[in-house]
Amino acid sequence: MEVQQQDRGHSKCLLDSLRQTQKHNPPSAPQHTLCTLQHHHAPIATQNHTHTTIDHHVSTTPHHNHIPSMPQHYPPTTVQHHTPNTPYHDTPTASHHHISTTPLHHITTIHDHQKMDIKWTPHYGRYMVASRDISAGEVLLREAPLLVLPKLDSNPTCLSCLKRLKHEDWCGCGGCGGPLCHPHCPGSNHMAEECSLLRRLDLRKAPHIDALLKELNILIGPLRLLLLMQESLSARDILLSLESHKEKRPKMAIGNFIQEYILGGLRSRLGLEVNPDTVHHVCGILDTNAFEVSLDEGDRGRALCVLASMMNHSCLPNAQRWYSEGQIVVQASRDIAEGCPILINYTQTLWGTQARATHLSTFKMFLCKCERCADPTELGSHLSSVRCRECDDDLLVPLAESRDHWRCRGCGVGVDSGTVEIMVRAGAGALSKLREADITTASLILEHLKKVLGHSHYMVMQAKQALLHAIVMNSKLQDLASEDLKKAVYLSQDLLDLTFLVEPGLTRLRGLLLYLLAEAHTELLGRGESAEEHKRGKTTKDDVGARKSEGRMEQSLEDGTSLEGKAEKKQEEEESRKGKGERSQVDGKSLEGKRENIRGEGKSKEKKIKGEGESKEEKIKGKGERKEEKIKAEGESKEGEERRKEAKSRDVPISPQHIQRLLNQVKECESILQFDRLLPNVQDLSSRVQVLAAHHLHV
């Protein structure tokens, strides 16, 4: 890995290539290199001026108005299987591989040699490609953002370090009265000119009024971008070369919002004389290119990175990005063959097709045609499929030929998309209550959502994630009841199985889930318990999904493999039966097949569990209720201590398979999270697992 900081000697850099590969036209004659541009310090605005003029004459940017044509055969979503010569119809790549720091003080990038290029197609614009074979886990880019901003809908956020602030618990900036975590916050994002302009919002007089804070959050992004462009010509040049969809946006609903609230706010509230086109343009730059990121303290914000924004989107990506120590890090999550696009997900893995499409068309102005979007079953995950109310046994799935019509896979009944939408809206109401829910509330919401939407819907999966969060985040694992730990194991395994279909590879979500799974397992094994008992306590009559998952879990506990491992094993067996020497490529169809196979197995086990489960359920329910009362009476930590003692005295034998599986989970987790801020926690867990293994395996 080569680290280049403030290296002004590199004239050939990926940033040049970005400039040559302009957003609406193929690379043309090189323009002046970024590496010679200078940074100008911001003029400090005087306090008593009435109007500041910021107008960047955006219409003069040197782009041809190339109308995007028909989609090419891009993007391939299972990109690692494409040969370098897939028909992208791109223009020649600018032959600069080396990202370096430009003199523009804002852009600091660190990258490995010759991993990426920028290419261009009329339909997809610029996109990053692998300029050599890349292995899963390789870091492709580290880039300091040009701008960091609060999230639009966030609570009060420190203007300087972007730390999320508790409602009444912040101080106002001595200048503008805007939220700061500390009068001398060490963050560097709240600059003098911004402060001077924000005085006009009169935050000092009424700092805690929600409407004012919302207004501030809406205006701060475009304001910062405008100030940066005024401050530095080189920044201005680069920013204006980014895609903004400025022609389309003013005619859309988002255009009305910008006209009314942002243009109106900048003019009437901050007294800026800004051109409407400029405002639509800068808002377009932000919406199209800024990433929502989890900042170092776990707060959420938006970051604008020039090179990272060259990556196009796929709902089945091969790369991921996150924010760490002031930089965006981009990492390959899967192997990427030379010449294939490097694609990240602009949305969320646990969103259904409609939700993703709405986000992409509203903010990013395109319709995704990836493999996941094209498949009504979402690669067999059924994240958008809903429970059929007619037969109550199977799922309604949209028809491939018309997404306006849905049909039940079991009874064949048809419904229109409006009916499904009503169900989804009903679910969304419940989902909105999930934020910061405790275990009991999250469990109730999960059960409710399952009844409304069925077991596989993305809102149900989000509720599972929230329940897992509530279990592991709100108390120390040592204080948790074994039942809750087993629930955590089951939930993380279920979510991991899902990511195998819709987010395969070394992704952070998978790393986190593995970490939670392994932590809960370790605690259980330390108590002399395994996770098996959970399946008996968990089964309910109408919980088809849980039974299926438990069916899967039972398998994995028996032979020490997850759904992923099991599926791979099955495929290998099948292939060797067929006499094929090598494994075929894993495509969407075969994944669906695997999922179905496992479902089938799950179903037969389901019957067994159902019989056993129903009688035991009552017992466990009674037990659970009594335990709950006890917790209330004695307080959590005392209860935890007693449980540990009780568990130790039971002395349940732990099989070598349990330990081996745990060792594998931790190893995989460590390799996924090798660059993550969670790594020290994973390493600590790894040491505990080693001790456990030494004890139980007598090594």
Chain contacts with ligand SAM (rule: CB under 6 A):
23, 75, 124-127, 242-243, 288-289, 309-310, 312-314, 364-366, 368
- Nearest to ligand SAM of 155, 347 (CB atom): 347
CA–CA distance, 323 with 342 (Å, rounded to integer): 18
> What is the CB neighbour count within 10 angstroms for residue 496?
21
Please, are residues 151 and 301 in contact by the beta-carbon 8 Å criterion? yes
Q: How far is the CB of 239 from ligand SAM (least distance, A)?
A: 12
How many residues comprise the chain? 699
H-helix or E-strand containing 294? strand 291-294
Beta strands in 39-161 (DSSP E): 52-54, 109-110, 116-121, 125-130, 139-143, 147-150
- Nearest to ligand SAM of 279, 365 (CB atom): 365
Beta partners for residue 126, in sequence order: 120
Q: How far is the CB of 152 from ligand SAM (least distance, A)?
A: 17
Q: What angle do CA 436, 424, 365 make, to 5 degrees?
A: 90
- Nearest to ligand SAM of 307, 517 (CB atom): 307
- Nearest to ligand SAM of 124, 458 (CB atom): 124
- Nearest to ligand SAM of 368, 620 (CB atom): 368
Q: What residues have CB less than 8 Å from 421, skipping those under 6 apart?
A: none
Query: Tokens 């981009």 correspond to what residue?
Result: 330
Which 8-state DSSP code applies to residue 46?
P
Q: Show the DSSP H helices in 245-396 as ranges.
A: 253-257, 264, 276-289, 353-359, 371-374
Of 443, 384, 393, which is closest to residue 413 (Cα–Cα)?
A: 393
Q: How far is the CB of 35 from ligand SAM (least distance, A)?
A: 21
Q: What residues have CB less than 8 Å from 446, skipping those under 6 apart?
A: 460, 463, 464, 466, 467
- Nearest to ligand SAM of 110, 368 (CB atom): 368
Please, are residues 16 and 96 in contact by the beta-carbon 8 Å criterion? yes
Q: How far is the CB of 81 from ligand SAM (least distance, A)?
A: 17
Q: How far is the CB of 504 from ligand SAM (least distance, A)?
A: 18
Q: How far is the CB of 314 from ligand SAM (least distance, A)?
A: 6
Q: Please give the residue whose beta carbon sits closest to ligand SAM in the complex.
A: 125
Q: How far is the CB of 398 from ligand SAM (least distance, A)?
A: 20
Please, are residues 190 and 217 in contact by the beta-carbon 8 Å criterion? no
Q: How far is the CB of 360 from ligand SAM (least distance, A)?
A: 8
Q: How far is the CB of 318 from ligand SAM (least distance, A)?
A: 13
Give burial (CB, 10 Å; 0-12/13-18/19+) of 191. Answer: middle
**Tokens at 307, concatenated:** 């090179």
- Nearest to ligand SAM of 319, 368 (CB atom): 368
Q: How far is the CB of 280 from ligand SAM (least distance, A)?
A: 15
**Which residue pairs from 151-154 have beta carbons closer than 8 angstroms and sit at least 24 positions apart in sequence?**
151/217, 151/292, 151/300, 151/301, 151/302, 152/217, 152/218, 152/221, 152/302, 153/217, 154/217, 154/299, 154/300, 154/301
Beta partners for residue 54, in sequence order: 274
Please, are residues 396 and 455 in contact by the beta-carbon 8 Å criterion? no
- Nearest to ligand SAM of 126, 269 (CB atom): 126
- Nearest to ligand SAM of 316, 673 (CB atom): 316
CA–CA distance, 509 with 517 (Å, rounded to integer): 12
CA–CA distance, 128 with 607 (Å, rounded to integer): 50
Q: How far is the CB of 122 from ligand SAM (least distance, A)?
A: 11
Task: Round the CA-based radius of gyration of the chain to a whole number and report it.
Answer: 27
Q: How far is the CB of 309 from ligand SAM (least distance, A)?
A: 4
Q: How far is the CB of 321 from ligand SAM (least distance, A)?
A: 11
Q: How far is the CB of 522 from ligand SAM (least distance, A)?
A: 40
Half-sphere exposure for 38 (CA within 13 Å, toward CB): 3
- Nearest to ligand SAM of 313, 527 (CB atom): 313
- Nearest to ligand SAM of 125, 301 (CB atom): 125
- Nearest to ligand SAM of 366, 406 (CB atom): 366
Half-sphere exposure for 517 (CA within 13 Å, toward CB): 28
